[in-house]
Structure 1
Amino acid sequence: MYSARDRVEQEEWLAEMNRAADSLELGADAKSTAEDLFLSNVPESERSKPAVAAAALYAAALLSGEERAQTEVADAMDVSRLSVQQRWKPLLEEAGFRPPTW
């Protein structure tokens, strides 16, 4: 879980995620879930934050039934598709979900 301070400290990344979610035309549920996934798994390294934010968006889109391609999400967040691919399943597992095996 995360604190209100986490939300304030990560305001820049949450705004970037919101911008990307808008460009992907994701709904409010997907946006909220993406924020929760990101804030619950914020990496220490600034360098890793874009990839984790993108993976959170991708995973949230899946959970909300608004599937988007990994490439679309990666492009919206300006990261590589591989960054999304490597991180989305661990994010779901950390949140208590069982990711698909495909």
Structure 2
Amino acid sequence: MTMIWPWLALLGGGLCEAGFTTALRHIDGGRNLWALAAFIVAVTASMGLLALAGRHIPMGTAYAVWAGIGATATVIIGVAFYAEPISIARGLLLIGLVGCIVGLKAIG
């Protein structure tokens, strides 16, 4: 039976990656201390959860899934909250990225 908690840690780490990339856009050269603090907390949590998941999931797979979750969530946040453009091509590529993440989980 496959343990689910490493995959949940990986999901959390990927979402924290989206958190630190979102905080990064607000740091303003270190002048926004709340954004800087959020960035530090999120990047620490993200890397810690990736390291934890990597103890039970092959690191190559863990890293690819972590990066894919973070990238997908970051794009969704950008479109939803920062008026970043979305196109059919961008949407299809995101669907492909999510498909690859699901595929890595399925074979991992």
TM-score (normalised: structure 2): 0.29
Bigger helix share:
2
Larger radius of gyration: 2
TM-score (normalised: structure 1): 0.30
Higher relative contact order (CA 8 A, sep 6+): 2
